[in-house]
Amino acid sequence: MTGGDKRPSRKPHHKIGWSWLGAFIGIYIVSTIHNWLHIDALNSLFLVGSFGASAVLIYGTPQAEFSQPRNLLGGHIISAFIGISLYKYIPLNIELLSALAVSLSIVAMHYTVTLHPPGGATALIAVIGSDSIHGLGYLYVVLPIGVGAVIMLLVALVINNLSSNPKRHYPRYWL
């Protein structure tokens, strides 16, 4: 518990700038689509909170394993499917469903090599979300989760590859 390493130094300004630009554009596009669809912001049918965490990963640490396209897409989609399935078909209280959704999503992401930490939040949102989210059923897996993750990925491909630094280029791998 004492930790043996020193904290890493702050990233250079240009890396922080690229991270800001990617996160801004990615979340802005997803938010804009959310507004075009005239969705009540409180129901957040398109702008899902777990996308904020994905933005940190794919724009802030594009070389990390958790940030790769396979992880981004697979982690969100698998977790959304698990969360919806549990909510629809398992008659347990919300506390047990929440714990099962997150923990089973982690197991599934491990087995499929798609571990993406925001996937846990995606599964949790499927269980504890509003009636509007529950009303989507399996459509939640496609819209907002699948489409939103693809939009974030497309922005990551453009922004992260605009940098002249090859260590920032994205992705490291696809499959």
What are the tens digits of pLDDT across the range 130-143? 898 999 999 999 98
The average confidence (pLDDT) of the chain is 92
pLDDT range class, residue 81, cuts 50, 70, 90 = very high
The predicted model gives 96-102 an average pLDDT of 98
Contacts of 124 (CB under 8 A, 6+ apart): 83, 98, 101, 102
Contacts of 128 (CB under 8 A, 6+ apart): 94, 98
The predicted model gives 101-114 an average pLDDT of 98
User: What is the helix, strand, coil percentage profile of the chain, to 5?
Assistant: 70, 0, 30
pLDDT range class, residue 77, cuts 50, 70, 90 = very high
3-class state of residue 3 by DSSP = coil
| pLDDT of res. 45 | 56
Please state the pTM of the whole predicted model.
0.92
What are the tens digits of pLDDT across the range 39-64? 554 454 567 889 999 999 999 999 99
